[in-house]
Structure 1
Amino acid sequence: MDEPLRRLVAEHAATGRLPGRAAVEECRAIGESAAVRGVPLRVLVDDALAAADGTAAPALRRLVAALMDGYEAAQHAALRSEEAARKEFVDDLLQGRAERLAERAEHFGLRLAESYVVAVASGMKDGDQDRIERDLVARFGSHNILVAGREALLVCVSPATLPAAVGEFTHHVRARFAPGWRVAVGRAQRGPGGVVASFREAERALELAGRLGLAASVVKAADLLVFPVLLRDRAAIEDLVNSVLSPLLGARGGHEPLLETLAAVFAVHGNQAAAARRLGVSTRTVTYRLERIRRLTGFSPDEPTQRFTLETAVLGARLLDWPPS
């Protein structure tokens, strides 16, 4: 037992006097010190009760309450410090700031020599992060999962050898996020630089899915690799879009219904009845619009090569926000 604690408790147990502010503050400080040194709270309370020898209950209650207040205050301070360190580490990790990353990663249970997958989710509300992190850590362990909020996104870093983690992350996002949520998953990459690369891929996939108007709630960066390739040669994609789709700009009723029809048809792999349901029109209307597109552009969605050209042009138009307003 701490000698100061023995003295405090014994003194007030012997006299029956309630401890004053100075004694309470001293006891609180003893509790804080014990928490920092890792002394279990139960041990402190047992020692205090033993020193009192069952006498002077009111005085003892006040001293024990102060002892526990100090102990809990130190624990809360340690938690806040840990949360701040964790947030700083995540920011440094995802931005590729390499200072002592491996050493700091060990503190959080990450072995950065392995391959990791980063998933990001949009649509987070207050409180979502803590609940989802708690659930994932309970299932996979804190050494396997790193969950953190970054701006408006929730980020999940998990080993590539633990594919179930991404599925579980998505499950909790689906259950807790507001409608309109989306999860994007980067490719598995090795080392600290790989975590950064996977995170940036996932961010980019999230952005592309929004710009392309994709219906899927879960998108994989590996499935969207063609689009960054297209955008690297902006002049070529602009030329394709203008050459193929410009004839639609003068269509009676505007170009929008025709582009929407093409996008809907491509989304359901050419099934005109399904496209009509997506658009809320009749199948006959879809057939009529596709014929108009063929006459205006010279490209038919029914011919494989021409369909690929049309689909690429439609996706390029979305990527470029074509036509300019």
Structure 2
Amino acid sequence: MSDRRELPADLLGEHLRTLRQAAATGLPPGRAELDAYRAAGSRAAELGLPLRTLVDAALAAADGLTAPAVLPALRKAVSALMEGYDQAQLAAIRGADVERREFVDDLLQGRAERLAERAEHFGLRLAESYVVAVAGGLRDVDPDRIERDLIARFGSHNILLAVRASDGDELLVCVVPATLPAAVGEFTHHVRSRFPTGWRVGVGRPHRGPGGVVTSYREAAGALDLADRLDLKHDVVKAADLLVFPVLLRDRSAIDDLVTSVLSPLLDARGGPEPLLETLEAVFAAQGNQTAAARRLGISTRAVTYRLQRIRHLTGFSPDDPTQRFTLETAVLGARLLSWPS
């Protein structure tokens, strides 16, 4: 609505009378009049009228009134109109934020009440496949700015961003269509540029429907948890790359037995098992290259060789033997998952 004649007739019904009274008496609008202007501004916002249309109408009403007191009165009137308009806009935004948070909570927890209807309000088509990315380490970051930047590139119907509490931490959750893999990369870019040190992004696999969003979210959050427990150095961890670990954890007694049987001799090592476990992790990460492993650890290649000899002597397993290497690597991963030996 760009024409002032489209304003409801009663919206500024008392405005001209107020200006004429100011012209006659020299007095500005009183508290009651200003409250009425604020209410009019608020109503205009709720009706979806442009602020410019409202202000133009208020200014046009002063045409022909030349008394010196009219201009100060007009300024107060327009200021009150704008104040009421802004307050209504702010209340609407806050209400939308609450609605969005409630929707995200219901969606990620699988509460199905009116999900499809509410999802349509946010532009989500729940029959499609979606990917969920989760960023941890959220501190003193404005998620609204990240959301605005993502929406500017991909459109509001393709992005759903929300902050969600999880186990005493705050996670920034991003839900995007699986057909837009670039959106996950862009989300990670904004997290990298705006989060403080210590951030990490977990990415779930694509799944279809409302239940698929829940599954992808749990995978992404689980990837963050596994990365922390395994002390992974990667900033971005994908659930698809960590599928072996849920398999290991399904049989807790078996992995516990493997860790105990293979690694318990390391408890007798001088300095404890930790330096030897770190050495094995570095060697496995370097594909068996001891020189590269030494650089990762910040020690000499000779020290790595000595530690591997100690491991072979204590456990009877050698990382140079393919079968024994697999057993050792699985046991080390299991030790990290179980926080062994603590």
State the TM-score, normalized to the length of structure 1: 0.96
Tell whether 2:146 aligns with 1:132.
yes
Q: What is the CA distance between 1:224 and its match in structure 2?
A: 0.7
**1:119-157 deviation per Cα after TM superposition (whole angstroms, max 9, x unaligned):** 001111223312211111111111101111112111110
- Distance in 2 (CA, whole Å) between partners of 1:106 and 1:233 is 41
How far off its partner does 1:54 sit?
4.6
Alignment partner, residue 3 of structure 2: none
Match of 2:41? 31
Aligned to 1:87: 101
Letter in 1 for 2:105: D
Aligned to 1:317: 335
Displacement of 1:43? 1.5
Give unpaired runs (5+ residues) of structure 2: 1-6
Distance, in Å, in 2 between the alignment partners of 1:37 and 1:252 is 76
CA contact (8 A) 2:136 2:201 kept: yes
Separation in 2, partners of 1:5, 1:101: 37
- Local SS of the residue matching 1:137: helix
* Partner-residue secondary structure (3-state), 1:92: helix
* Structure 2 counterpart of 1:168: 186
Query: 2: CA distance between counterparts of 1:63 and 1:202?
Result: 53
Moved more, 113-122 or 267-276: 267-276
Return closer, same or farther for 1:156/1:258 CA change in 2, 3 Å cut-off.
same
**Amino acid corresponding to residue 49 of structure 1 in structure 2:** L
Indicate the residue corresponding to 1:10 in structure 2.
16
User: Deviation of residue 105 (structure 1)?
Assistant: 0.6
1:165-222 C-alpha deviation (Å, 9 max, x unpaired): 0000111111111112111100000001000000001111110111011111111101
Query: SS of the counterpart of 1:143?
Result: helix
Is residue 279 from structure 1 mapped to residue 297 from structure 2 by the alignment?
A: yes
Q: 1:265 to 1:9 in 2, by over 3 A?
A: same
How many angstroms apart in 2 are the aligned matches of 1:215 and 1:222?
Answer: 17
Matches within 5 A, 1:195-210: 195-210=213-228
Name 1:186's counterpart in structure 2.
204
Q: Which secondary structure state, in structure 1, belongs to the residue aligned with residue 157 of structure 2?
A: coil
- Specify the alignment match of 2:115 in structure 1: 101
Deviations 1:273-316 (A, max 9, x none): 11111111110010111111112211111111111110000000
Using a 3 Å threshold, how does the CA distance of structure 1 residues 47 and 161 change in structure 2: closer, same or farther? same
Q: CA RMSD, aligned part only?
A: 1.3
| Separation in structure 1 between the aligned mates of residue 61 and residue 267 of structure 2, nearest angstrom | 90
Aligned to 1:43: 53
Identity of aligned residues (%): 72
CA distance in structure 2 between the aligned counterparts of 1:128 and 1:70, rounded to whole angstroms: 26
Q: What residue is the counterpart of 2:161 in the other structure?
A: 147
One-letter identity of the residue aligned with 1:70: G
